[in-house]
Homo-oligomer: A and B are copies of this chain.
């Protein structure tokens, strides 16, 4: 039994301890069509830099393994970017910090698709400081279950 199986077992025991009752809140497939990472900023690093980030909450008792793909208008895609979110944690990831296997192009319109092995909830948030002030937007992504 390798480390990963042991971790999964621990996850399962924890879930069972929680009552073993029910699915954690969320969905396993998410999309966000309206992506755009502004490439200019007027703010100081890192807090006031323009960015778009993907925010994941794993409310369940099992490690969530995510696979994220960025889609563009011209048919190229970037990814897959693999991320893990531990049980009962959030993870916020700036799109420009996705660099493995390679950095995605910025400043272009994109959308992301995300798949998870367990239900999670996904939100996307943009901070735009191209001008002297700050503009923000956010929305829960669109979620569904693979059928």
Contacts and interface: CB of A to CB of B under 8 A. Distances in A.
Interface of A: 22-23, 25-26, 29, 31-36, 43, 47-48, 53, 55-57, 59, 71-75, 77, 86, 88-92, 109-111, 113, 121-144, 146-147
Nearest to A91: B73
16 contacts: A22-B146, A31-B121, A33-B90, A47-B130, A57-B71, A59-B113, A77-B88, A111-B121, A128-B134, A129-B131, A131-B133, A132-B133, A133-B133, A137-B137, A140-B140, A140-B141
Given A57-B71, A71-B57, A136-B128, A22 B147 contact: yes
Chain A interface, >50% SS class: strand
